Amino acid sequence: MHINIQSAISLKKYNTFGIEEIATNFIEITDPIQLLSAFEEGIFEKDFLTLGGGSNILFTKPYQGYIIKINIRGIQATTLKQDIFITASAGEIWNDLVWYCINNNYNGLENMALIPGTVGASPVQNIGAYGTELMNIFYSCVAFDTLEGVFRIFHNEDCKFSYRDSIFKSEQKGRYIITEVTYKLDTLPSINTTYGAISKELENRNITNPTIRDIAEVVSAIRVEKLPDPSTVGNAGSFFKNPIISLEQYNRLKELFPNIISFTMPNNQIKLAAGWLIEQCEWKGKVVGQAGVWKNQALVLINIHSATGNEIFELSSKIINDVYQKFNVKLEREVNIF
Ligand code: EPU
């Protein structure tokens, strides 16, 4: 099947940071079979990078290899007893899928409304927000193995999901191109209002018996208030992960910083709110050249107008350094750097 290789393409509209870099080669995939053609043409023996919505990436230099932009579309629903299996192609916009499910009364995605990006990217870093994460509703995905030239199926346990991580981001990074994802949803609503901000906003709206539509609307409103809209302010959501530390280290920090914000994890581990750590280092709302820290959420770095990827990267290094000096905690970048 034909593949069209474009050359010297600007990546500005393909990354939500809005960074201007050039890709030497650019291939748009609209049908999974095109991946087989690309394999036969030896594309995957060279440098390549798979791109979904470009919402978790920072380009710091021109990309000399092949950008593989996934734009495969389609959504299908199949019912089995009280379960609904939704199979969505990798190029579908995540938030469109969320609203498709809400409009059809399929429960489970509503807490993740308005997360930027595509379906194909959703398992890679196990996206999550407001009390849930993808691994709770992920059933399986189909992915093209760029080493062997075959399509493979991954079930939930094969993906080794953990906080903002999966095999697609760690041990098998770059190897597989996800072409479709199947989510297992419920027809019976199980409303999740565990996240404080959701219950507070429901209270403000006098909603006592929320539907999944209410939850998605509330979550969307909270996101709009806290996070910059990438169509007007370039950003990639949380730039850093929330660091996970031992209970011993937490106890030492708690003595020094009694207000530290934390969440208990399994296995005696503690997750710290990186936004709070960064705010304590007085970075919130600061601007350095064309790069900045978002005024309402210090975990988010922004492109003021015409930042280079390096400016954003350097700002992130300064923040990592300051947080380390003050708290002895090493922040890790959540965003992929190229
Ligand atoms: N906080 C501060 N200062 C800040 C930001 C946050 O003190 O500048 C405090 C908040 O007051 C709150 C705590 O830190 O007590 C947690 O903040 P928030 O609820 O905003 O969540 P988060 O841990 O900062 C994570 C995800 C977000 C997701 C939210 C809501 C990560 C890296 N980020 O942020 O995901 O939307 O929870 O569930 O886990 C993303 O991954 O791109 C993303 C936006």
- What CATH number should be reported for the domain holding residue 12? 3.30.43.10
Helix (H, G, I), strand (E, B) or coil at 31: coil
Residue nearest (by alpha carbon) to ligand 1 atom 20: 297
The domain of 83 spans: 75-186
Domain membership flag for residue 229: no
> 268: left (phi > 0), else alpha (psi -120 to 50), else beta?
left
Pocket test for ligand 1, best of 270, 276, 293, 301 (most atoms within 8 A of CB): 276
pLDDT at 51: 97
CA of 253 to the centre of ligand 1 (A): 20
Q: Whose CA is nearest to atom 27 of ligand 1?
A: 129
Indicate whether 107 and 181 sit together in one domain: yes
**Tens place of pLDDT per residue across the chain (338 aa):** 789 999 999 999 999 999 999 999 999 999 999 999 999 999 999 999 999 999 999 999 999 999 999 999 999 999 988 899 999 999 999 999 999 999 999 999 999 999 999 999 999 999 999 999 999 999 999 999 999 999 999 999 999 999 999 999 999 999 999 999 999 998 887 899 989 999 999 999 999 999 999 999 999 999 999 999 999 999 999 999 999 999 999 999 999 999 999 999 888 899 999 999 999 999 999 999 999 999 999 999 999 999 999 999 999 999 999 999 999 999 999 999 99
The SS3 call for residue 40 is: helix
- Let me know: does 284 contact 293? Beta carbons within 8 Å: yes
Question: Which atom of ligand 1 approaches the CA of 273 most closely?
Answer: 14
How many angstroms separate the alpha carbon of residue 221 from the centre of ligand 1? Answer: 15
Q: Quick one: pLDDT at residue 1? A: 75
- Closest by CA to 144, choosing from 8, 57, 38, is 38
**Nearest CA owner, ligand 1 atom 32:** 241
241 lines ligand 1 (CB under 6 A): yes
Is residue 102 domain-shared with residue 51, that is, in the same domain? no
Q: Pick the last residue of a domain from 70, 98, 120.
A: 70
With tokens 């993906």, the residue in question is 159
CB 255 within 8 A of CB 261: no
Whether 281 and 305 share a structural domain: yes
- Residue 192 in any domain: the answer is no
Residue type, 294: W
- Spatial contact of 207 and 167, defined as CB atoms under 8 Å apart: no
For position 108, what pLDDT does the model report? 95
The tally of domains found in the chain comes to 3
Do 81 and 29 lie in a common domain?
no
Same domain, 252 and 331: yes
Give which of 304, 309, 323 is closest to 257, Cα–Cα.
323
Quote the tokens at residue 5. Answer: 């290789």
CATH number for the domain spanning 169: value is 3.30.465.10
**Residues with active-site annotation:** 164, 238, 334
Whether the pTM exceeds 0.85: the reply is yes
Pocket of ligand 1, candidates 127, 163, 227, 238: which has the most ligand atoms within 8 Å of its Cβ, to mutate?
238
**Is the CB–ligand 1 distance for residue 237 below 6 Å?**
yes
Is 318 part of a structural domain of the chain? yes
- Distance separating alpha carbons of residues 124 and 77, to the nearest angstrom: 22
CA 45 to ligand 1 center in whole angstroms? 39
Instruction: Using most ligand atoms within 8 A of CB, pick from 299, 327, 332, 333 the residue to mutate for ligand 1.
Output: 299
Q: Please check whether residue 106 is in contact with residue 77, taking contact to mean a CB–CB distance below 8 angstroms.
A: yes
Q: Which atom of ligand 1 is nearest to the CA of 236?
A: 42
**Ligand 1 center from residue 12 Cα (angstroms):** 27
- The answer to whether residue 214 is domain-embedded is no
Among the candidates 186, 212, 246, a domain finishes at 186
Residues 28 and 81 in one domain: no
Domain boundary at 48, 70, 92, which? 70
Residue 328 sits in a domain of what CATH number?
3.90.78.10
CA distance 294 to 286: 8
Distance 57 CA to ligand 1 centre (A): 19
